[in-house]
Amino acid sequence: MTRLGASVQRASALLAQDLSSETTVRQLLAETGARRSLDLADLPAGEQAELITARTVNVLPSAEALAERIAAAQAAGRGLRVKLGIDPTGADVHLGHTVPMIVLSRFQRMGHDVTLIIGDITAKIGDPSGRSTERPPLTDEDIARNLAGYRDQVGPFFDFERVRYRHNSEWLAGITLPRLIGILSQVSASALLQREDFRKRLDAGHGLSMSELIYPVAMAIDSAEIEADVELGGVDQLLNLQMGRRVMEIYGQTPQLVVTMPLIEGTDGSGAKMSKSKGNYIALSASPEDLFGKVMSIPDRLMDPYLRTLTEWTDAEVAIVTGRLADGTLHPMDLKRVLAGEIVTALHGVDAAMAARAAFAAQFSRRSFTEVTALPEVSLAEHGAETVTTVLTKVLDFTPSASAARRLAKQNGLRLVLETADGQQAGALAEEDALRPLAEVVAERTAGPGGAPDGVYLKAGRKLARVRD
């Protein structure tokens, strides 16, 4: 039995037990958490390909081709040359950025050679994927700062010490105009214009810059320069990665295989991908308690894709819990707490995950918030004249922007909770309420014959604050 097979056997036995038990959950998180660094080199080629393709959207030209390429590399006594390009466009990294790194880690632990291409040239052009406007270019200082932050934050998901680093300025900075024209002459312009975002912009009467059109070709040259066997990327990068295959043919090389990862959906359940601009992200720099709470806020339907993309669970293990959900032997809340524990374990360890689990239970499983002492507070005397969105954004730091607070209100995620001797009454705040002064909203909701409530709380998603006079 392989090392992974033995781990799956142990974890499967735990998954069949009571997942509300602290002891069982701790054992499970220890088992699956250790799997993130498990040596997978004993897996045969077919099982390696299966483990990779189980978490992908596309494998081109086919999953069978991936298995064959792995087997051929093993026969030659080497690993595959696996490439991931990084354009360091931001210093803050969220959970969605870890999806390709988790799969890349599997390749690494299978014994393959991983190369990270630092796009110090392409970052200055700006990847147009999925954008309605041209992205502003970055400076060298931006790139260095963002790359350092990226590595620090993603480190728990990937071993950056066992990887080759190449900057594409090594070859792109010296490429001559005749050479570039020679490559571009063999690339169809219609292929570049297939991109949906380009078509939408042209249909809307907006222009495209030549730099945006050249970007996929510049990125593709990276693959040819390192003679990649496999390139990973998000599914939104599919056309860019396929261009790598075309340019490698122009170089007279065997085209790389293309492996694309799903784009993880954001926490708000709107269907939009996780994005800082949409406020539906989980930052890797968040505290264990905040990470746990953010995961607990996702809709139940996202548990399956989150388990598949963000953990080291196998399909067989996911099938166990989905089967138990279906037959009623597992409560969705218990599974979501396990999922939240998985994320915290990856970043902070099992002890921190169990502590966050206990803190969540203490804060959100009580019938009375007055028993919870460690709550942030907002004073009406100090901030009552400010709008609810301002309080959420600038005072409590519950939402990244006023627009995010308004979106939360639209989704019925913004509430004012009144606590009396008879229990709690939670009233949703509409978008127009979010734009009113907090004191005015509180006064309106607390007015009535019942007298002043014992406690007033502002709730934004899973985040809660006590409102004081």
Q: What is the pLDDT of residue 365?
A: 54
Q: Which residue among 365, 394, 414 closes a domain?
A: 365
Domain shared by 150 and 132, yes or no: yes
Confidence of residue 130 (pLDDT cuts 50, 70, 90): very low
* Residue 25 belongs to a domain: yes
Query: How many CB atoms are located within 10 Å of the residue 129 CB?
Result: 21
Binned at pLDDT 50, 70 and 90, residue 374 comes out as low
Domain membership of residue 34 as a residue range: 1-40+266-365
Query: What's the token pair of residue 416?
Result: 């004012």
Whether 215 and 256 share a structural domain: yes
Q: Find out whether the peptide bond into 299 is cis, omega within 30 degrees of 0.
A: no
Alpha-carbon gap, residue 15 to 288, rounded angstroms: 23
Domain presence at residue 222? yes
Q: Is residue 45 part of a domain?
A: no
CATH number of the domain bearing residue 296? 1.10.240.10
Q: How many residues does the chain have?
A: 469
Based on the fold, state whether residues 236 and 351 are members of the same structural domain.
Answer: no
Q: Which of 261, 277, 306 is the last residue of a domain?
A: 261
pLDDT in tens, 214-271: 888 988 999 999 999 999 999 988 888 999 999 999 999 999 999 999 999 988 878 8
Residue 51 lies in a domain: no
CATH number at residue 145: 3.40.50.620
| Distance, CA of 201 to CA of 205 (rounded, Å) | 6
Q: Are 89 and 224 part of one and the same domain?
A: yes
pLDDT higher than threshold 90 for residue 23: yes
**Predicted confidence band of residue 92 (pLDDT cuts 50, 70, 90):** low
Q: Are residues 231 and 84 in the same domain?
A: yes
Instruction: Determine, yes or no, domain membership for 372.
Output: no
- Domain end: 261, 279, 304, which one? 261
Residue 182 lies in a domain: yes
Are 15 and 137 found together in one domain? no
CA distance 245 to 257: 8
Please indicate, yes or no, whether residues 93 and 76 belong to a single structural domain of this protein.
yes
State residue 467's pLDDT score.
Answer: 87
How many structural domains compose the chain? 3
pLDDT at 132: 45
How far is the C-alpha of 270 from the C-alpha of 265, rounded, in Å? 8
Do 183 and 256 share a domain, yes or no?
yes
Residue type (1 letter), 447: A
Residue 431 shares a structural domain with residue 315: no
Same domain, yes or no: 354 and 383: no
Residue 15 lies in a domain: yes
Same domain, 95 and 213: yes
Distance CA 121, CA 170 (A): 9
* Residue in the structure block whose two tokens are 């222009």: 207
pLDDT of res. 237 = 87
- Indicate whether 256 and 306 sit together in one domain: no
Strands 230-234 and 463-468: unpaired
Q: Give whichever of 10-14, 362-366, 397-401 has the largest mean pLDDT.
A: 10-14
